[in-house]
Amino acid sequence: MIAGLLLHALAVAASAGMGLPPPPPFSPAGKPAAPVVAEPAADPASTADLDVANIERTPRYNYDAAKNNPAPGDLVTFSGHIRNTGDGTVASVSYEWRLNDAPVASGTLTNLAVDEERVVTWSWTWQAGDHWIKLVVDPGNVIAESSEVNNQVVDRTNGIIVGFWVEQSVYDYFGTHQKDLGVGSNSWDDWAQRQMGFWNQFSQNAIYPTTPNGVLDRVRIDKIVVVPDGALPLAGGYPTNHPDLGDKTVDLMWGFPATLLDGSMYSNHTSASMGNPFYYEGSLLHELGHARYLIDTYGFDVHNTAHNGGHDSIQIWEGDIYVGGSSYMPYLAWGEVLYYNKYGMMMSGGYDEGWSEYDAGALNRIAGQRACCGNYNAPGNIGVFLNDLPANNHLRITDEVGQPRRGANVRIYRATSGPGWYGKTIDNTPDLEFSTDNAGYAHLPRNPFTAGSIQHTYGIANSIMVLRISHLDQIWYRFQEVTDFNIEYWRGNTQNAYYSIELPGPNETPVSADFDGDGDVDQEDFGHLQVCLTGSGGAIVSGCENAVLDGDTDVDAADLAIFVNCISGADVSADPDCLD
């Protein structure tokens, strides 16, 4: 790609001198189904190659400007970058613009020298919604090329705007060696498009109950700026995270300094595997996830290592038994891992697994929005969603068959600051205490995690808490992340959210108003209650123990009220939650 300062001049020259036909009237059709056409086969003997690098969209808007997006009716220009990445001059080659897969403009480039890049443009009257702009070079496959798969770029017109700054040596190194992968990429631009292609594919695939349509946004590479070695960062900060802090036209930025070539990161030129950054650089997607505002979900992990210079410390004792690493809270690995985060995947380091339900829910929370508080890693709004908490949180404790554990004692141990990234200290004093009701619920407040706000950063991760539950002489310890609370909030349960924890071991006989066990609560069950009534404070007759519905020691008006609430009628299934 051309140097940044030349971008504008070249684009102007290209659009002025190319003699493009005027754009045809736009047909407001939806995106048609892609026609089924065979991908042209590459010719391995050919040394010719044409490459569509990326598509810019102008005018550009700063993300923090009052007008930061095109409005319907605005004229928008797409500028496509076409390069000759082959070994000889290309005398003539055609190209075609397509909108929603329908051809809208075409033209011919002549005398394209080796490594020469031309910019071709097409203007469009902006429309809201999802549209797809595509630029194809050699659409009729007149020229046999060593790669035919790098002949097009397709962007969603309203994609989140990505800018990459790359130092010359990195750009050239990829230009020389990408073809050795044998997957059709033949330039740094092709590599970069593949990375964002993975982002978009992961987004499409991220279908969960919280995100039934996947991650809604797509990304598009608006800007690739090649700069001299050593030039990054252009305006302070780090060369990777902040390649140009002066640029607010993009929503996500990343820089590629020449020093990346010093180590072995890009030394494997031939393995098209998800673990090879020269093919797929998963850490780039992870870091850009931060730039969008996602958090490190591995920060929910609990390692019991503070005494060895690590970050976390569990300080809970059960009598004279130290809980960490005991049967109450066994180590999961390495003699120090007490907990692994629940949702995993991209932001937990599983780069090739795509977005987790948690990542996806957070991304959709700001779908369609420009950057707000920084377009680099890390922005000012990183993790702001951690404090999306339902007003009331109902935690149900059950046995393994889903029967409630009534009258269980639930204690919450909060995390406070600890050394290092996502450090946490959980001391021996419980912070909150609850008793479960007849349906097994502990009714937790909006934020049981901390008296302040949720933090998940260097020096503190109070985004996870320890639950100690005791019932019928049994004791269990469990970890609870804030993620489940956030997800309930995103699903629309902002007032009341419900959670459950199953705990193994004996439970009392299930309490039910279905005294005769035939599935309903009807007249026959009422007969049993009637016989068993003691009045307030009265003594229970033998055989009437199951008529105590409210957990005390009599059968009185309170039990009758619960029973009435449970009446289902003959042969109608009783509501298991009617005792609540």
Residue closer to Ca ion, measured from CB, 508 or 516: 516
Helix extents (H) in 374-508: 483-490
Binds Ca ion (CB under 5 A): choice among 120, 525, 547, 579? 525
Supply the DSSP symbol for 230. T
Residue 296: CB minimum distance to Zn ion, A: 4
Largest CA distance in the chain: 103
Residue 137 sits at the vertex; the CA angle it makes with 134 and 139, to the nearest 5 degrees, is 90
Q: Which of 559, 562, 563, 566 binds Ca ion (CB under 5 A)?
A: 559
Helix (H, G, I), strand (E, B) or coil at 72: coil
Closest distance of CB 484 from Zn ion, Å: 21
| Burial classification of residue 343, based on how many CB atoms lie within 10 Å of its CB (0-12 exposed, 13-18 middle, 19 or more buried) | buried
Among 56, 96, 117, 138, binds Ca ion (CB under 5 A): 138
CB of 184 to Ca ion, least distance (A): 8
Among 305, 291, 450, which Cα is nearest to 386's? Answer: 450
Q: Taking CB within 5 to 8 Å according to partner kind, which of Ca ion, Zn ion, none is near residue 49?
A: Ca ion
Q: How far is the CB of 369 from Ca ion (least distance, A)?
A: 35
- Which one of Zn ion, Ca ion, none interacts with residue 554, CB within 5 to 8 A by kind? Ca ion
Distance between CA atoms of residues 316 and 322, nearest Å: 6
Residue 231, classified by CB atoms within 10 Å of its CB into exposed (0-12), middle (13-18) or buried (19+), is: buried
| 444 contacts 452 by C-beta, under 8 angstroms | no
| Other C-beta atoms lying within 10 Å of the C-beta of residue 21 | 10
The entry of Zn ion, Ca ion, none near residue 364 (CB within 5 to 8 angstroms by kind) is: none
- Interface characters, 242-281, with Zn ion (x: CB under 5 A): ----------------------------------------
516 contributes a contact to Ca ion by CB under 5 A: yes
CB of 226 to Zn ion, least distance (A): 27
Q: Which stretch binds Ca ion (CB under 5 A): 71-79, 151-159, 261-269, 440-448?
A: 151-159
Q: Give the SS3 label for residue 246.
A: coil
Nearest CB to Ca ion, comparing residues 99 and 579: 579
- 242: tokens are 């902040």
Q: How far is the CB of 529 from Ca ion (least distance, A)?
A: 11
CB of 119 to Ca ion, least distance (A): 17
350 versus 510: smaller Cβ distance to Zn ion: 350
Q: Which of 49, 189, 244, 399 binds Ca ion (CB under 5 A)?
A: 49
Q: Which tokens in the block code for residue 119?
A: 């910019």
d(CA 299, CA 290): 13
Contacting Zn ion within 277-306 (CB under 5 A): 296
Under the binding rule (CB under 5 A), the answer on residue 190 touching Ca ion is no
Q: Of residues 50, 55, 90, 291, which one binds Ca ion by CB under 5 A?
A: 50
Total of chain residues touching Zn ion, rule CB under 5 A: 1
Nearer to Ca ion, 332 or 561 (CB): 561
Q: Does 143 bind Ca ion (CB under 5 A)?
A: yes
| Cα–Cα distance, 466 to 419 (Å, whole number) | 19
Token pair 């070079």: residue: 137
Task: Tell me the C-alpha distance between 262 and 251, whole Å.
Answer: 29
In 3D space, the residue among 294, 396, 405, 278 whose CA is nearest the CA of residue 345 turns out to be 294
Q: State in angstroms the smallest separation of the CB of 521 from Ca ion.
A: 5
How far apart are the C-alpha atoms of 256 and 175, rounded to whole Å? 14
Residue 115 binds to Ca ion (criterion: CB under 5 A): no
Min separation Cβ 548 and Ca ion, Å: 5
Judged by phi (left if over 0) then psi (alpha if -120 to 50, else beta), residue 87 lies in alpha
Tell the burial category of 246 from Cβ atoms under 10 Å away from its Cβ (0-12, 13-18, 19+): exposed
CB of 283 to Zn ion, least distance (A): 8
* Segment near Ca ion (CB under 5 A); pick from 75-83, 449-457, 460-468, 519-527: 519-527
Residue number of the CB atom closest to Zn ion:
296
Measured in degrees and rounded to the nearest 5, phi and psi for residue 90 equal: -100, 115
Instruction: Answer yes or no: are the C-beta atoms of 407 and 436 closer than 8 Å.
Output: yes
User: Measured from the CB atom, is 51 or 399 closer to Ca ion?
Assistant: 51
Q: Closest approach of Cβ 552 to Ca ion, in Å?
A: 4
Instruction: Check binding of 359 to Zn ion (CB under 5 A).
Output: no
Rounded Cα gap, residues 59 and 130, in angstroms: 18
Identity of the residue, 138 or 251, whose beta carbon is nearer to Ca ion in the bound complex: 138
Could you tell me whether strands 160-167 and 219-227 are parallel, antiparallel, or unpaired per DSSP bridges?
parallel
150 binds, among Zn ion, Ca ion, none (CB under 5 to 8 A by kind): Ca ion
CB-nearer residue toward Ca ion: 429 or 553: 553
* Whole-number Å distance between alpha carbons of 234 and 241: 11
Place of tokens 């790669």: 147
Report the partner that residue 143 touches, choosing among Zn ion, Ca ion, none (CB closer than 5 to 8 A by kind). Ca ion
Q: Which does 296 bind (CB under 5 to 8 A by kind): Ca ion, Zn ion, none?
A: Zn ion
437 binds Ca ion per the rule CB under 5 A: no
Q: Which secondary structure element, helix H or strand E, spans residue 530, and what is its range?
A: helix 523-532
Distance CA(163)–CA(166), nearest Å, equals 10
Task: Kindly determine how many residues on this chain lie close enough to bind Ca ion according to the rule CB under 5 A.
Answer: 18
DSSP letters, 282-330, are HHHHHHHHHHHT---GGGG-EE--GGGT-SEEE--EETTEE-BTSTTB-
Choice between 148 and 244, CB closer to Ca ion: 148
Residue 151 CB, shortest distance to Ca ion, in Å, is 5
- Distance CA(83)–CA(459), nearest Å, equals 48
**List 502, 518, 545, 577, residue binding Ca ion (CB under 5 A):** 518
Q: Does 554 bind Ca ion (CB under 5 A)?
A: yes
Question: Which of 56, 312, 431, 514 touches Ca ion by CB under 5 A?
Answer: 514
**Residue nearer to Zn ion on the CB measure, 299 or 448:** 299
Compare residues 190 and 296 and give the one whose CB is closer to Zn ion: 296
Q: Which residues bind Ca ion (CB under 5 A)?
A: 49-50, 138, 141, 143, 145, 147, 150-151, 514, 516, 518, 520, 525, 550, 552, 554, 559
Applying CB under 5 A, the residues found at the interface with Zn ion are 296
